Amino acid sequence: MTTAHTAQLYCALDTVDLAQARLWAGQIAGHVDGVKLGLEFFLAHGPAGVRAIQTVGLPIFLDLKLHDIPNTVAGAVRAVAGLGVAVMTVHASGGAAMMRAAVEAAETTAKAAGVPVPKVVGVTVLTSLADDDLQQTGQSGPLPDQVVRLAQLAVQNGLAGVVSSAKEAALLRSKLGAAPLLVVPGIRPTWAEAGDQKRIVTPGEAVRLGGSLLVVGRPITEARDPADAARRVRADMMAAA
Ligand SMILES: O=C(O)c1cc(=O)[nH]c(=O)n1[C@@H]1O[C@H](COP(=O)(O)O)[C@@H](O)[C@H]1O
């Protein structure tokens, strides 16, 4: 099982304000392993925005959650995989061929650009969803079964890991083994609000359950002192060692 020593902490910089994202990144730089830039930021600022945040010196997780036909996803991956980002996301529900196309595009593009190959990870069931949401969208539950089904498909088709709630992390470790990256958002320290997240877990518990990359956004970015909030999240992770 992953320990607190190897579990990483990435902060989600969810904003359209480039100056704000850069400020947060600078404030928390000594307390996190990397930062995540998502759709909100990327649609506003594109590759230039990613490069601007890279100047802070932290690894970047580019979370675009791609989900389209294989040719289109491969093209989208080719457009960004030369940026030198550490991790990228696609939706595992896009299917086997789409995931293989994403991995191949990431490898060839990064190698041609002379940058490290981004780890492509597959989103299973969003942490904002619960069992009744799955039923509404026609997916077979129970929810952990759907997470495992999509995670196995992702790993079998070359993805470096998967995204799920830490609630499913121990189950995923037992099914997938130690190698795949388990990215776990929906992290809520006891002092933070759940907001739109439904499957939430504390930082310490996420580490104990086997999460390897914890994504924490608003509990850090909306705190009065983001650096102190990041430090407290890290302390909770370390206490789980
Ligand atoms: O792929 C993700 O990062 C992701 C998947 C998921 O199932 N749930 C989820 O919350 N996320 C992302 O993780 C971050 C969580 O942010 P907070 O809820 O503010 O901590 C957001 O940027 C989400 O887009």
Can you point out the beta strands (E) in 57-208? 60-66, 87-91, 119-123, 161-163, 181-184
Does 90 map to a domain? yes
Rg, the chain, Cα only: 17
pLDDT at 232: 97
pLDDT digits (tens, 9 = 90+) for 24-77: 999 999 999 999 999 999 999 999 999 999 999 999 999 999 999 999 999 999
Does residue 99 carry a pLDDT above 80?
yes
pTM of the model: 0.96
Q: In angstroms, what is the span from residue 115 Cα to ligand 1's centroid? A: 26
Ligand 1 cavity residues, CB under 6 Å: 12, 14, 36, 38, 63, 65, 89, 123, 126-127, 163, 185-186, 197, 215-219
Across residues 5-30, what is the average pLDDT? 95
In contact, 101 and 71? CB cutoff 8 Å: yes
Predicted ipTM of the assembly: 0.99
SS3 (DSSP) at 84: coil
Which of 125, 127, 218 to mutate to test ligand 1, by most ligand atoms within 8 A of the CB atom?
127
**Residue-number span of the structural domain to which 191 is assigned:** 8-239
In degrees, rounded to 5, the angle at the alpha carbon of residue 158 between the alpha carbons of residues 156 and 162 is 80
Does residue 5 carry a pLDDT above 70?
no
63 is catalytic: yes
68 is catalytic: yes
Q: Is 70 annotated as a binding residue?
A: yes
Q: In angstroms, what is the span from residue 109 Cα to ligand 1's centroid? A: 26
Across residues 225-229, what is the average pLDDT? 98
Considering only CA atoms, which residue is closest to atom 22 of ligand 1?
A: 12
Across residues 205-219, what is the average pLDDT? 97
Does residue 1 carry a pLDDT above 80?
no
89 CA closest ligand 1 atom index: 1
- The residue from 17, 33, 68, 145 that is catalytic is 68
Which residue carries 């320990």 as its tokens? 3
Total number of domains constituting the chain: 1
Q: In angstroms, what is the span from residue 114 Cα to ligand 1's centroid? A: 29
For the chain, percent of residues with pLDDT exceeding 70 = 98
Q: Is 78 annotated as a binding residue?
A: no
How many separate helices (H) and strands (E) can be counted in the chain? 10, 8
pLDDT at 4: 41
Does 2 map to a domain? no
Q: What is the mean pLDDT of the chain?
A: 96
Q: Write the DSSP string, 163-204.
A: E--GGGHHHHHHHH-SSSEEEE--B--TTS--TT-SS-B-HH
Q: Is 71 annotated as a binding residue?
A: yes
The domain spanning residue 145 has which CATH number? 3.20.20.70
Q: In angstroms, what is the span from residue 215 Cα to ligand 1's centroid? A: 7
Q: Which residues fall within 8 angstroms of residue 112, CB to CB, at 6 or more apart?
A: 82
Q: Is 46 annotated as a binding residue?
A: no
pLDDT digits (tens, 9 = 90+) for 151-199: 999 999 999 999 999 999 999 999 999 999 999 999 999 999 999 999 9
Q: Is 36 annotated as a binding residue?
A: yes
Q: How confident is the model at residue 6 (pLDDT cuts 50, 70, 90)?
A: confident
pLDDT at 83: 98
175 is catalytic: no
Q: How confident is the model at residue 235 (pLDDT cuts 50, 70, 90)?
A: very high
Does 1 map to a domain? no
Does residue 3 carry a pLDDT above 50?
no
